[in-house]
Structure formats: C-alpha cells, structure tokens
Amino acid sequence: MPTTRTLVVGSRGSRLALSQTELVLAALRTAHARLRVRLLEIRTAGDRRQDVSLAQLGGLGVFVKELERALLAGRIDLAVHSLKDMPTEETDGLVVAAVAAREDARDALVSRGRLRLADLPSGTRVGTGSLRRAVQVRALRPDLEVIDIRGNVDTRIRKVDRGEVDAVVLAVAGLTRLGLLDQAAEVLPLEDFLPAPGQGALAIQARAADLEVLHLLEPIDHRETRLATTAERAFLRRLEGGCRLPNAALGIIEADKLRLRGLLGDPEGTRLVRDEIEGPATEAEALGVALAERLLRQAAEQSLTGVSP
C-alpha cells in the first residue's frame, strides 16, 4: 500500500535514541522505497530529570509518555522506543505495531584498565542506574561498591574515564549501535547476568486506528523477536501484580521452541532465584506467566522480602 503521506516519526533526542530510530527508518525505506519520513525529536521526563533515579521518576514509562501523547495528538505518526522502557500494558488507542529484529541482548562491563568483573579489586566502584544490574553485580561480587548513576551511554563511559566510578554496566545493544562496543572489557555471560525483559529490541508504536501506518510497518515486524519479547513482557506483567523485586528475563527461540530464563533477587543481591521454562514459541505469553509464577513461589519459599504470589 503506497502512501502519499510524509510520515512523522517521533524519537527521543539522545544519540542512542536517534541511532536506533535511524535503524528503523532504514528498514522502512528498504521495505518501501518511495516512503517519505520526517523526524521529530521529543524530550521526555526521563531525559529532563537526570538528578533522580528512574524508580523515583516512576520506573517504566518515563522515556515513553511524551512520545505517546504526541502520537495520540496526531503530532507524529509513529514512535520508536527501546522496548525495555515500555510499560507492559498497552495505552488506549495505541499499539506496538512492530518489533524490529533484536540486537545482542546481553550486558557488558566497561572498566578502567579493561579489567573483567572477576578481576576488579575489592572495593571497586561499579556504576549503574539499574537495580537489576546492581543485584546481579552484588551477587557475583559482594565485595564491590555499587554506585547509582544516571546518564546516557556516552555520559556513563565518561564517568569511568574521569574516575567518578571505576566501571559501569551497559547494554551491548546500545554500545553496538553507537559503535562503542570496543570500549567493553567483557560481555557478561547469560549464565551469570540476565538482561531486562525486552533489552536489545526496538518497538515501533502507532495509533491503533491508523491502518495505513500499521500496514507499512508489517514488513519490519520480526517474528522471533516479537515472540521472545512477548514471553519476557508477560513474565514482567505477572510480576508487577505481586512482586517488588529486581527481575530479569530472556527468551531464545530455536526451531519454533522458546526457552525462557528468568531471575528474581532481593535488593541487596544476597539471594537470587533463577529458573527457566521451555515450550512452543506460539505459547510465548503463557510461558512467560508460568515462569513468573514459578519464581514467585520459589522467592516466597526463600522468604525474599516484597513477594506476594
């Protein structure tokens, strides 16, 4: 369905957000050679308030709400988000119309002297704004000091360069998209360090009633990424109903089978519960819920504070 419209695409203004949006636009141009697009940068609450933690700002949604308002008001025709930033419940009138093919979902360590996590001296200051990352660092290295920091990828790396912290944990996807993966001392293995639900995936959101745009987005919706992240976000949605614990999840699809790994931990990182589940990829949502319920039971059995199965 060719369009005579010039599509207005909304994006956050950070270098990473713009890089991610350009990846989506390139995929759209490949699918629709004559497509005309215009970019509109939108500053979000998460971008404006770098002085407080994401949890204090309200957690999921702080990088999303202004873009959603622009969509609903008709100022933009689609918005590009990091999927891990999006609330698990759809906003009325909007839909995630496509999930682009996922980049590497793992985390990486950037450190002074390019030391690996296992080799960092006791007392090393590791910066992260993510409770999920913090608890996994503490679980692996309780002798390290975890420092809460905010800022984009470039800012966090500069904090290491300036000695404000000795290391930071960042998403491989962000480093790769900015051409900075060579800054990493190591990519953290999934056996030790699970990502946030949706990490590495890009979501393209549109108005549910805009059938023309929904049709244009169909070719860039990546089936395997969509199914894997559906399981991860179903896992997260179930936890939001009865759990205030740090969590992580990653789905991997092979031969139409979905293997979903998950984790819950106490805020101090002294105890973690892990489990995994496998089943047909077409049952992604049910698998996500089932894994969350299994981990909630295990967390309750181990008396992790903040659990109500």
The full set of domains in the chain, from first to last, is 6-100+201-221 (3.40.190.10), 107-187 (3.40.190.10), 230-301 (3.30.160.40)
Q: Provide φ and ψ at 8, rounded to 5°.
A: -100, 120
How does pLDDT run across 189-217, given as a tens digit for each residue?
999 999 999 999 999 999 999 999 999 99
For residues 114-141, average pLDDT:
96
- For residue 218, give Cα distances in angstroms to 3, 10, 29, 96, 98: 14, 18, 13, 11, 7
Annotated active-site residue in 77, 85, 107, 166:
85
Q: Which is more confident, 64 or 47?
A: 64
Which helix (H) or strand (E) segment holds residue 208: the answer is none
Looking at every residue in the chain, the average pLDDT score rounds to: 91
Is 85 one of the annotated active-site residues of the chain? Answer: yes
What pLDDT is attached to residue 57?
45
Q: Give the pair of three-digit tokens for residue 132.
A: 């999920």
* 14-23, 35-44, 250-259, 298-307: least confidently modelled range: 298-307
Question: In the chain, which ranges are E strands?
Answer: 6-11, 36-41, 78-82, 94-99, 107-111, 125-128, 145-148, 167-171, 186-187, 202-207, 247-254, 257-265, 272-280
Residue 259: pLDDT band (50, 70, 90) is very high
pLDDT for the residue 245: 85
Q: How far apart are the first and last CA of the chain?
A: 47
Q: What is residue 308's predicted lDDT score, i.e. its pLDDT?
A: 61
Q: Coil, helix or strand for 47? A: helix
Q: Which has the closest alpha carbon to 10: 43, 34, 36, 32?
A: 43
pLDDT-derived band at 53 (thresholds 50, 70, 90) equals very low
Residue 274 above 90 pLDDT?
Answer: yes
